[in-house]
């Protein structure tokens, strides 16, 4: 087969296709059009797998087929010309056999012990795909099975644990008039970006390697390359190409793929393409952490929230990855957005012999807030009170203290998002209707409607002292060509980075948005503005870029004596380029003690309320989510269309999490590791989504923005389950709320 | 079709001939042999619709179609949506470089990460070409084979409805 057959004939690209980065006329509801939108819409945007590197080889990963085993040897079957290909194992790694992350426990290639199914054990590269397939088939792993651990409650290996709280929980619980207890379970969830993971490594003349790939965090990849390949800062270059979605799934996992591709490229001496197919991506890459949350809520006789006692166990999978920080965020959000004087959160993340879990939009908070909101809705039921009214009484207000002792001094919008969502959805009116329908329902009823509500908060930026440790840097440069360039490693992954930064900078400098460009995300060009995670880009990096813009403006204006807008072209022509970098400085008055877990866990919080309406088929228990109203406080809206897009997309991911997205495991292997069996919502499954943006600015950043990416993901699943309860009268304690679970709760076989 | 002459068909109105095995996927022929990388691969098994193209007026997943099946056919990809220079000049309503559907996606926010976008556009264009009723249900049905993980489909549906209202949105095959 000729894999590189040449076509003949003339197929023209669009004659007038916009140039990369060209700004087209027109507006998106008053805001600028998506910067790279024309390229994406005409098919000219280049994602990693679209790039052509002449002479490139194809790389593949040999993976374990057991959950836990001793690796005795790697055999190459005879009868194949192994000189045609390159095979690498752990022994061929020039640097440390470690994927750089929080702990040094994960090898780039398993050495003596296999700890999970689909663990990388060896690498193969070949000049064409057919040879690669043939070689891959003929690599045999000799192993000796070891006993696996799959139940997180049985695991003795703890990656991290926390105890957070305030007040005397036992005494408060003993004094409570009503105590509601519950155990909740949530499973794995796949990020399911539509572009699979992809990396191409190109050997460099200086002995290093350049990576072109799909990723959220170029500097994470950079650090991992340096460590595993023993490279200097300069010899490891990472370029982010157009990236087809991330959602956390391209936060830490790309590091290991880049290391694999780089190892092969260095050995082969040619570019090596490491492009995962959907099956490999599903089988091997990180998922949302499953969790078991046990919860006790104490309520006084007059209906006040007096005690919360929470125990969280998260399944980290075989290696630590980001589990300590996922658990930390989950634990800090476990009480929900409610004032309570006596709170205890005890949590641990443990190892099991399953593929490692990692970052996914929400980062631990959706898991614990599902439990928190289930509890609040169940308390409302016990008190025979509207779930909205109960939240009016309990929700945080300015001046309240959180379980870490953080005083919420500003930017608290719990009540506002609640009222906006309740009003837009006509929550009480619909709830009265569904109640009436439920009471009048006979045994012949075939379907039932329900409405449910939930409230959530989401800490903005990195947890605790995270931002201080990151010490991110952003640059803004006036080029000799009179173009202003934004220099950041923060990536465009669909959320709008390429559009909102030119907006912020052009506004700050008073220049047209066309005068501002985004520098290519290349670690040899842009400073480390930190990872594109934690809803931090708009808030934290946005603040840095505004700071750098102000510095640039001041320098130019001092020199020219006129406004930046009037004089920057002339300045550039006379003086050449001028670049100003801004380094992160701690937000005033924000202090956190990483050892005691006391203080300001986040500089501020975003707030969200969702109201869900759905129908349940009473014969099949199939759930049809009809509508979701999500009111989200994002501090300050930079681009309304893109901010709404974040809320809408996050909402549907959460609807999928609540209803259909589930991974089944068999002996530590994901059984539904194909897109035919791991289902996400289609356009027909998707509800009508109404995004309401609320603005309660944060004063710690000049533009007031708090971030929007994760907030909508936290709030929807418990609202779905509350609506199922409203329709059917049963509580589902485990996600997803599948027909099987609903039928079981209804007492039907 | 004799093997030496390869397979002949039209792509975006231009005749092409490829000398490849008949079972080679149309997706690979487009992406690798014809360098039209606008058509994306998301799953390789017909579940995601990222590789949707229009063959003789019907939307198909290019990952499921062997090239031998498009012999003599008219294949349309995302690269063929935007008007050529002449067409642009002839259509004063849309002087820009994008088609009305692409422009509506751009204005409404129908593309985020963009990887599902080419396939989504082709499914939507086929729907509009066929004179589909641009109701919410009609549009949802038309794009039900195209997965998007970014948008919740909200602004995609809005964009398609917006495009349907505009003149010259349907394209001749």
- d(CA B78, CA A269) in angstroms, rounded, equals 35
pLDDT band at A106 (very low <50, low <70, confident <90, very high): very high
Pair type for strands A291-299 and A272-275:
unpaired
Alpha-carbon distance values, A420 to A343, A380, A424, A719, B170 (Å): 28, 20, 6, 16, 40
Answer whether residue A15 shows pLDDT above 70: no
Residue % of chain A over a pLDDT of 70:
97
Task: Render A273-317 in DSSP notation, one character per residue.
Answer: EEE--HHHHHHHS--PPPEEEEEEEEE-TTS-EEEEEEEEEEEEE
Task: Kindly report the nearest CA distance between residue B1 and chain A, in angstroms.
Answer: 16
Residue that is written with structure tokens 């993976």 in the block: A63
| Residue A31: partners with Cβ closer than 8 Å, 6 or more residues away | A503, A639, A640, A641, A642
Identify which of A24, A41, A676 has the shortest CB distance to residue B111: A41
Residue % of chain A over a pLDDT of 90:
95
CA atoms within 13 A on the CB side of A321: 35
Q: Which tokens hold the place of B71? A: 């012999």
User: B11 contacts in A (CB within 8 Å)?
Assistant: 9, 11
pLDDT given for residue A8 in this prediction: 43
User: What is the signed CA dihedral for A519, A520, A524, A530, rounded to 10 degrees?
Assistant: 80
Indicate the length of chain B as a whole number: 173
More confident residue, A448 or A6: A448
Answer whether residue A22 shows pLDDT above 80: no
Spatial strand order of the sheet with B74-76 comes to A7-9, B14-18, B7-11, B74-76, B52-55, B58-61
Determine which of A194, A214, A278, A361 to mutate to test the interface with B (most B C-beta atoms within 10 Å).
A194
Identify which of B41, B105, B150 has the shortest CB distance to residue A494: B150
Determine which of B15, B26, B70, B112 to mutate to test the interface with A (most A C-beta atoms within 10 Å).
B112
Task: Render A324-335 in DSSP notation, one character per residue.
Answer: HHHHHHHHHTTT
Asked if B154's CB is within 8 angstroms of A648's CB, the reply is yes
- d(CA A85, CA A93) in angstroms, rounded, equals 17
3-state secondary structure of A99: coil
Residues forming a β-bridge with A420: none
Asked if B96's CB is within 8 angstroms of A40's CB, the reply is no
Answer whether residue A378 shows pLDDT above 50: yes
Q: Determine the average pLDDT of the residues in A328-348.
A: 98
Answer whether residue A594 shows pLDDT above 50: yes
pLDDT given for residue A100 in this prediction: 81
- d(CA A541, CA A543) in angstroms, rounded, equals 5
Task: Kindly report the nearest CA distance between residue A240 and chain B, in angstroms.
Answer: 13
Cβ neighbours around A384 below 10 Å, total:
6
User: A16 contacts in B (CB within 8 Å)?
Assistant: 82-85, 88, 97
Q: What is the pTM of this model?
A: 0.96
Q: Which tokens hold the place of A3? A: 């894999």
pLDDT in tens, A172-182: 999 999 999 99
> In tens digits, what is the pLDDT along chain B, a chain of 173 residues?
444 569 999 999 999 999 999 999 999 999 999 999 999 999 999 999 999 999 999 999 999 999 999 999 999 999 999 986 555 444 444 456 899 999 999 999 999 999 999 999 999 999 999 999 999 999 999 999 999 999 999 999 999 999 999 876 666 54
pLDDT band at A6 (very low <50, low <70, confident <90, very high): very low
Pair type for strands A669-670 and A665-666:
antiparallel
Closest residue of chain B to A655, computed from CA coordinates: B152
Q: Determine the average pLDDT of the residues in A323-346.
A: 98
pLDDT given for residue B86 in this prediction: 52
Handedness of CA B43, B46, B49, B51 (dihedral sign): positive
3-state secondary structure of B14: strand
Closest residue of chain B to A642, computed from CA coordinates: B109
Asked if A44's CB is within 8 angstroms of B38's CB, the reply is yes
Alpha-carbon distance values, A699 to A93, A456, A587, A604, A703 (Å): 48, 21, 10, 9, 8
Answer whether residue A472 shows pLDDT above 90: yes
Question: If you count DSSP H runs as helices and E runs as strands, how many of each does chain B have, helices first?
Answer: 6, 5
Residues forming a β-bridge with A313: A292, A348
pLDDT given for residue A16 in this prediction: 53
pLDDT given for residue B166 in this prediction: 86
Identify which of B24, B106, B149 has the shortest CB distance to residue A245: B149
pLDDT given for residue A9 in this prediction: 42
Identify which of A38, A45, A649 has the shortest CB distance to residue B97: A38
Residues forming a β-bridge with A348: A161, A313
Residues forming a β-bridge with A309: A296, A344
> Quick one: angle between helices A218-229 and A253-268, nearest 10?
50
- d(CA A626, CA A171) in angstroms, rounded, equals 44
Give Rg (Cα) of chain A: 27
pLDDT given for residue B134 in this prediction: 95
pLDDT given for residue A101 in this prediction: 85
Q: Determine the average pLDDT of the residues in A489-498.
A: 98
State the alpha helices, DSSP H only, in A510-639. 542-560, 564-575
pLDDT given for residue A4 in this prediction: 31
Closest residue of chain A to B104, computed from CA coordinates: A28
Q: Give, as one character, the DSSP assignment of residue A514.
A: G
- d(CA A452, CA A628) in angstroms, rounded, equals 10
A–B CB contacts, 8 A cutoff, strictly below: 252
pLDDT in tens, A300-320: 999 999 999 999 999 999 999
Lowest mean pLDDT segment, chosen from A28-32, A199-203, A482-486, A704-708: A28-32
Q: Cβ distance A633 to A606 under 8 Å?
A: yes
Give Rg (Cα) of chain B: 16
pLDDT in tens, A248-288: 999 999 999 999 999 999 999 999 999 999 999 999 999 99
Closest residue of chain B to A192, computed from CA coordinates: B149
Nearest of A618, A626, A613 to residue A719 by alpha carbon: A613
Phi, psi of A655 (to 5 degrees): -65, -40
Asked if B149's CB is within 8 angstroms of A653's CB, the reply is yes
- d(CA A366, CA A372) in angstroms, rounded, equals 10
pLDDT given for residue A19 in this prediction: 64
Alpha carbon A227 to chain centroid distance?
25
Answer whether residue A520 shows pLDDT above 90: yes
Q: Determine the average pLDDT of the residues in A526-548.
A: 97
Closest residue of chain B to A40, computed from CA coordinates: B114
| Residue A746: partners with Cβ closer than 8 Å, 6 or more residues away | A621, A728, A730
Q: Supply the mean pLDDT for chain A.
A: 96
pLDDT given for residue A20 in this prediction: 61
Answer whether residue A128 shows pLDDT above 60: yes
pLDDT band at A2 (very low <50, low <70, confident <90, very high): very low
Closest residue of chain A to B75, computed from CA coordinates: A11
| Residue A574: partners with Cβ closer than 8 Å, 6 or more residues away | none
Task: Kindly report the nearest CA distance between residue B99 and chain A, in angstroms.
Answer: 9
Nearest of B120, B118, B109, B108 to residue B147 by alpha carbon: B120
Q: Indicate if ipTM > 0.90.
A: yes
- d(CA A299, CA A175) in angstroms, rounded, equals 9
């Amino acid at each position: 087969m000729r894999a590189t057959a040449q076509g003949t004939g003339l197929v023209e690209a669009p004659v007038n296709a916009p140039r990369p980065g060209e700004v087209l006329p027109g507006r998106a509801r008053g805001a600028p059009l998506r910067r790279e939108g024309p390229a994406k819409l005409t098919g000219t945007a280049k994602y990693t797998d679209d790039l052509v590197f002449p002479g490139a080889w194809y790389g593949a990963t040999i993976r374990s087929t057991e959950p836990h085993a001793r690796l005795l040897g790697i055999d190459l079957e005879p009868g194949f010309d192994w000189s045609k290909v390159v095979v690498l194992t752990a022994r061929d790694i020039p640097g440390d056999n470690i994927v750089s992350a929080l702990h040094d426990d994960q090898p780039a290639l398993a050495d003596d012990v296999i700890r999970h199914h689909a663990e990388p054990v060896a690498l193969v590269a070949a000049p064409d795909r057919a040879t690669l397939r043939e070689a891959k088939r003929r690599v045999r792993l000799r192993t000796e099975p070891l006993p696996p651990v799959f139940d997180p409650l049985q695991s003795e290996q703890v990656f991290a644990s926390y105890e957070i709280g305030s007040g005397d929980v036992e005494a408060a619980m003993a004094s409570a008039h009503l105590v509601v207890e519950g155990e909740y379970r949530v499973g794995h969830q796949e990020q399911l970006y539509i572009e699979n993971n992809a990396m191409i490594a190109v050997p460099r003349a200086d002995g290093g390697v350049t990576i072109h790939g799909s990723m959220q965090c170029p500097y994470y990849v950079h650090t991992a390359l340096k460590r595993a390949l023993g490279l200097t800062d300069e010899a490891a270059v990472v370029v982010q190409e157009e990236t087809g979605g991330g959602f956390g799934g391209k936060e830490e996992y790309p590091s290991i793929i880049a290391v694999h591709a780089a190892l092969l490229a260095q050995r082969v001496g040619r570019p090596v393409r490491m492009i995962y197919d959907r099956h490999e991506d599903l089988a091997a890459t990180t998922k949302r952490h499953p969790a078991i949350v046990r919860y006790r809520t104490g309520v006084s006789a007059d209906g006040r929230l007096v005690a919360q006692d929470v125990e969280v166990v998260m399944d980290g999978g075989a290696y630590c990855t980001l589990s300590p920080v996922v658990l930390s965020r989950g634990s800090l959000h476990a009480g929900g957005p409610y004032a309570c004087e006596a709170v205890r959160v005890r949590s641990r993340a443990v190892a099991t012999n399953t593929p490692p879990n990692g970052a996914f939009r929400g980062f631990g908070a959706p898991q614990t807030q599902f439990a928190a909101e289930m509890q609040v809705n169940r308390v409302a039921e016990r008190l025979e009170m509207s779930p909205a009214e109960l939240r009016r009484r309990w929700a945080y207000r300015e001046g309240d203290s959180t379980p870490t002792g953080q005083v919420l001094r500003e930017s608290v919008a719990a009540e506002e998002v609640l009222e906006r969502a309740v009003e837009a959805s006509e929550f009480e009116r619909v709830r009265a209707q569904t109640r009436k329908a439920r009471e009048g329902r006979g045994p012949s009823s075939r379907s039932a409607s329900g409405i449910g509500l939930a409230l959530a908060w989401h800490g903005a930026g990195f947890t605790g002292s995270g931002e201080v440790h990151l010490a991110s840097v952003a640059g803004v440069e006036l080029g000799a060509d009179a173009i202003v360039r934004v220099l950041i490693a923060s990536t465009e992954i669909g959320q709008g980075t390429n559009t909102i930064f030119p907006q912020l900078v052009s506004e700050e400098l008073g220049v047209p948005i066309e005068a501002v460009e985004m520098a290519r995300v290349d670690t040899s060009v842009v400073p480390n503005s930190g990872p594109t995670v934690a809803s931090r880009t708009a808030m934290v990096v946005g603040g840095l870029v505004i700071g750098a813009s102000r510095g640039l403006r001041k320098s130019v204006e001092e020199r020219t004596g006129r406004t930046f807008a009037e004089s920057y072209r002339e300045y550039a022509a006379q003086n050449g380029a001028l670049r100003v970098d801004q380094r992160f400085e701690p937000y005033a008055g924000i202090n956190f003690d990483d050892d005691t877990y006391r203080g300001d866990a986040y500089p501020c919080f975003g707030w969200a309320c969702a109201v869900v309406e759905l129908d349940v088929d009473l014969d099949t228990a199939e759930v049809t989510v009809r509508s979701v109203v999500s009111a989200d406080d994002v501090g300050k809206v930079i681009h309304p269309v893109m901010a709404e897009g974040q809320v809408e997309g996050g909402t549907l991911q959460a609807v999928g999490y609540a209803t259909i997205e589930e991974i089944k495991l068999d002996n530590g292997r994901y059984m539904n590791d194909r897109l035919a069996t791991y289902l996400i919502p289609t356009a027909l499954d998707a509800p009508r989504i109404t995004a309401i943006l609320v603005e309660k600015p944060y004063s710690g950043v000049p533009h007031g923005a708090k971030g929007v990416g994760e907030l909508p993901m936290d709030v929807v699943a418990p609202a779905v389950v509350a609506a199922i309860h409203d329709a059917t009268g049963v509580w589902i304690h485990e996600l997803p709320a599948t027909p099987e679970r609903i039928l079981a709760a209804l007492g039907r076989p | 079709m004799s093997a030496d002459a390869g397979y002949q068909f039209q792509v975006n109105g231009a005749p092409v001939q490829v000398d490849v095995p008949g079972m080679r996927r149309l997706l690979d022929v487009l992406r690798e042999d014809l360098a039209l990388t606008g058509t994306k691969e998301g799953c390789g098994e017909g579940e995601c619709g990222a590789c949707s193209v229009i063959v003789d007026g019907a939307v198909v997943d290019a990952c499921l179609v062997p090239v031998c099946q498009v012999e003599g056919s008219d294949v349309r990809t995302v690269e063929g949506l935007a008007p050529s220079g002449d067409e642009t000049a002839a259509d004063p309503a849309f002087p820009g470089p994008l088609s009305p559907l692409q422009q509506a996606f751009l204005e409404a926010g129908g593309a985020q990460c963009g990887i599902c976008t080419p396939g989504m556009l082709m499914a939507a264009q086929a729907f509009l070409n066929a004179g589909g009723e641009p109701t919410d249900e009609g549009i949802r049905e038309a794009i039900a084979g195209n997965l998007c993980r970014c948008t919740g489909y909200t602004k995609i549906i809005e964009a398609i409805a917006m495009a349907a209202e505009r003149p010259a949105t349907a394209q001749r095959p």
